Structure formats: structure tokens, C-alpha cells
Amino acid sequence: MNNTYRQPALADMPLFTKDERDAISRVALQYPMRVTSYYLGLIRAPGDPIYRQCIPSEEELNDDSGQTDPLREEEHSPVPRLHHRYPDRVLLLVTNNCAMYCRFCTRKRNISDRTTTITDDEIARVVEYLNRHEEVHDVLISGGDPLTLPVNRLEEIIRAVRTVPHIDIVRIGTRIPCVDPGRIDAALCNMLKKYHPLYVNVQFNSPAEITFESQRACAMLADAGIQLGNQSVLLRGVNDSSEVMRELVRKLLAMRVKPYYLFIPDMVKGTGHFRTSLETGYEIIRSIQGWMSGMATPQLVIDLENGGGKVPLSPDYVTGHDDGLYSFRNFENRLYEYADFRACHHQR
């Protein structure tokens, strides 16, 4: 095991009382805890957005809502570790290991099962599957966190995927630039840039996560020619306000990361205390769209239960249409009209 990460010694943490430590340990028995010392150092007060994301809460044990595998990921898996849910792209889960176990994680059920990282045999089966499926053009490498793998192991995986001629792009989903930014180094960046076109989707949920260190990590990846996108999760008590999300997307763009998705949290058992209303999500999008750079607006999405897949939730700017006459509400809530001559019968 890599020893960059350490399980924090709870007794060392002045942040917690003995009762709090006992509660944390109780929850961690069911849902393991792990946090980097870097991320722990970003906590400013108990219950703040950083704290909520990494410190176990008793609310996790008291949650009767949700399922352990709401996305039915286990059912769209033609070969181990590969999920083929959408026509032209696949999700490849190369490890169950993460630098930090986010308390709201969708894969709470299998994260931290450290025995399982992808084997040579599994890589061979994945490549064989991809070769047979010429409709697949995009391989999204995720986990767990792929950047917890040693650089040479990650390279073996990417190189194997790149032997398949019809794969256009490789994407990596990772939280490392946010939770352990020191791990983004020249060796990693020099390896990654050999496999362009390569996209990296990071996950920042709070402006408090954007630090000198995480800015440096993203700059190194961007300087290696990697397109960076951000996938946030909408989390109660972390980023469920327009003010916070506006600050976050502005800081992301300033460090060359394009806000990509804002996820409604999945219906995962043990994460109910993080859920907000969908209306909060719409409100946040409306407070960005038009008010800030067009680059700043993420797509609000919900990953439907029972394997329905991702569906965009877009605030409606069309207020109605009648015989080719469309009415709109703009970002300032003013009304406008547009005559669609191709659809408008009386105009012919």
C-alpha cells in the first residue's frame, strides 16, 4: 500500500471532543473513513463545507432512504470493471481506492475495498471487448480514484486502451487535484500527455477547496495540454446556495477548469442528509446562466434511479409557444418573443 495517505489518528484531532470521536468511530465501522492530512487542514470549523465532506456523521447511520446501488451499475457490466450504459462510451472502474472517502459517495458500497484494483487479465478482457465494439469512442477511466494508482500502472491501462483504433478520447475522473494536490507532479503529467486527446474531470464542491496547492495541480495538468472539467455534487450545507456556487464556478474558470456537471446527489443509502430539493439546483443554474460567463454554467444533471441514466435538468426559458410564436423569459426575467417562420402557418 502506498503510504502517502494516513488514517488520521482521531485522538490527535483537537477539533473533536471524546463523544464526537466515539460517534465518528461508530460510523466509520460501517462506512470507512479516510482523509488526507492536506484536506483535513482545510477545515476551519466543525460542520463547515470541508468537514461535512470528509468527517463521518451519525446521520449516515440513521438514513432509511436510498439503495446501496441505485444506478444499477452492476447490471450494465459486460466484463468485470466495465460499464457500458450509453451507446458510444464506457466507464472503466480501475480501482476501488480513493485518497479520501467522500461521505456522500455514490459508490459507498464498494469504495475502500482495497484488494481490488484492475488485474492484467481484466485489462485484457476490457481491450478485447472494446475491440469488438466499434461503436465505442470514449473511455472514461474512473473508480475509486485512478490517480491513486502508481503512474506506471495507470500508464499500462491507458496504453492498453489506446491500442484500440476506434477509441477517440480517454477521460479520467479524479478528486486528487482537490484532496491531495501534491500528488500531481511532473512524472504524472509527462506520462499523461503522451496519450492525447485526454480529458480530466476533477471534482471541486466548495470554493474553500480552491487553494494555492489545488491551483498549482490544475495548472500543471492544463500545461500538459489536458482539458479540465469539473463535476460538482450539489450538497446540503456545502454548496446549496447561489452565492457559493457562483464563487466556485468563477474560481474554477480562473484556474482553467470548465464547470461540466452539477449532480443532484444519487439516492444512496447513508447520504440522505446531503440531499437538497431539485428547485435549489434550478435556482443555482438560473443565478449563473446569463449573469456570468457562458463558460461558467455547468449542466445540472440527475442520474436516474434503477439505471435510467443521466438526464439534464435545464431551467425553462421558453414560457410557451402558439402557432410558431415562441415566448421567452430571459435571464433577467423579461419577456420576449420569437416568430418561427418555418412553423408558423399564417405566415406562409
Ligand X SMILES: *Cc1c(COP(=O)(O)O)cnc(C)c1O
Residues that bind ligand SF4 (CB under 6 A): 98, 101-102, 105, 107, 111, 143-145, 175
Closer of 199 and 326 to ligand X (Cβ): 199
**CB closer to ligand SF4 out of 107 and 171:** 107
CB of 195 to ligand X, least distance (A): 18
Q: 90 forms bridges with which residues in the sheet?
A: 139
Q: Of the listed 54, 105, 178, 218, which one is catalytic? A: 105
Residue 102 bears catalytic tag: yes
Q: How far is the CB of 102 from ligand SF4 (least distance, A)?
A: 3
Which one, 227 or 271, has the nearer CB to ligand SF4?
Answer: 271
In terms of DSSP bridges, do strands 198-202 and 169-173 run parallel, antiparallel, or are they unpaired?
parallel
Degrees (nearest 5) of the Cα angle 61, 103, 265? Answer: 95
Indicate the angle between helix axes 278-288 and 242-254, nearest 10 degrees: 50
Nearer residue to ligand X within complex by CB, 136 or 255 = 136
Say whether 251 is catalytic. Answer: no
**Residue 21 interaction partner, one of ligand X, ligand SF4, none, beta carbon < 5-8 Å per kind:** none
Task: Classify the C-alpha dihedral 247-248-249-254 as positive or negative.
Answer: positive
Beta strands in the chain (DSSP E): 82-86, 89-93, 138-142, 169-173, 198-202, 227-233, 257-263, 299-304, 309-312, 318-322, 325-329, 335-339
Q: How far is CA 222 from the centre of its chain?
A: 18
Q: Is 105 a catalytic residue?
A: yes
Binding track over 282-311 against ligand X, x by CB under 6 A: ----------------------------x-
Residues 46-85, one symbol each (x = binds ligand X by CB under 6 A, - = not), give: -------------------------------------x-x
In the set 34, 52, 107, 275, the catalytic residue is: 107
Residues 79-98 that bind ligand X (CB under 6 A): 83, 85-86, 89, 91
Give the dihedral sign, CA 8/183/255/94. negative
In the residue annotation, 344 being an active-site residue is answered as no
Cell 466507464, located at residue = 91
107 binds ligand X (CB under 6 A): no
3-state helix, strand, coil in the chain (%, to 5): 35, 20, 45
Which residues are known to be catalytic?
85-86, 89, 98, 102, 105, 107, 266, 303, 310
Residues contributing to the site for ligand X (CB under 6 A): 83, 85-86, 89, 91, 140, 310
